Structure 1
Amino acid sequence: MSVSLYYCASRAMPLTDAETADVERIVAAHMASFPYEDQESLYLYDSDDSRPDEVVAGSTKMPLDPDRVLTVLDHVLGSVTELRRALPGAEWRVHLDDLDVPWEETDGYAFPGMRDADLAAELGGL
């Protein structure tokens, strides 16, 4: 059984040219710094005319290897946080299957304790 992270931003106004460039820059930076070549990463869907208010949407399948889950989750959520900050006025929904990922203005998207250094060391590091 697989678990996936889903992310979606909606708003009445489509992306501006500058916002489209920001999204492309964030995705490129994410891909360049992603630690695993053989693992699914940040993936944005092509636009869907049936959902005209949806400006960004995508998903990432989490690894089956427990030693990689926190690293992948942290990396993808960091990129989704950047995307949210680049698209003002959008309504975001980010969830790991049925579990909503909380948003904090300071830290962005993360689960409580996810970026705790002691926990990361105990679990094998991030």
Structure 2
Amino acid sequence: MGISIYYQFQTGEDLLRNGYLQEVERMWDTMFEGVPYESWCWYEPKIEKGLFRKTKYCYEGATQLPMDEEEGPLSVLKSLEVLTELRNKVGGSMWSVSLDDMEIPWDEGSNSYSIEM
């Protein structure tokens, strides 16, 4: 049994084509020395044509995290580290990060996702 972290955002970049989504997955695997509880997961991106033919890519995904006392808190912190790095690198808009139904706020002061444990 576990909890899941959900993440979604929009950007004008094709992160699938430029390889950055795969880089995020490798970062996740490296944090757990190649054996994470569950692999980082991206759903098929939605592509929308906006005003003046600007393309918006809508990315979302979910990753299940363990609930045990030893690995649970560490996996939450590592997932927030991955999402913080992603947001700081690609920017974008409409960001939403949550642990099941609990929204994780973005801290403008530190430019990071954080949660008190």
Residue 30 (structure 1) aligned with residue 28 (structure 2) = yes
User: How far did residue 5 of structure 1 move?
Assistant: 0.8
Q: Report the equivalent of 1:80.
A: 83
Partner AA of 2:5 in structure 1: L
Query: Runs of 5+ in structure 2 lacking a partner?
Result: 49-55
User: How far did residue 18 of structure 1 move?
Assistant: 9.7
User: How far did residue 75 of structure 1 move?
Assistant: 0.7
Q: Does the CA contact (< 8 Å) of 1:22 and 1:86 recur in 2?
A: no
Where 2:59 maps in the other structure, the secondary structure is: strand
The 3 A distance-change label for structure 1 pair 4 and 54 is: farther
Residue 108 (structure 1) aligned with residue 112 (structure 2) = yes
Higher relative helix content:
1
Q: Provide the TM-score with structure 1 as the length reference.
A: 0.69
Q: Report the equivalent of 1:119.
A: none
Q: Provide the TM-score with structure 2 as the length reference.
A: 0.73
Partner AA of 1:7 in structure 2: Y
Q: Does the CA contact (< 8 Å) of 2:106 and 2:114 recur in 1?
A: yes
User: How far did residue 67 of structure 1 move?
Assistant: 1.2
User: Comparing 84-93 with 21-30, which one deviates more in the overlay?
Assistant: 21-30
Taking only aligned residues, the RMSD between alpha carbons, in angstroms, comes to 2.7
Partner AA of 2:58 in structure 1: V
Aligned length: 109
How many Å separate the matches in 1 of 2:78 and 2:37? 12
Percent of aligned pairs sharing the same letter = 26
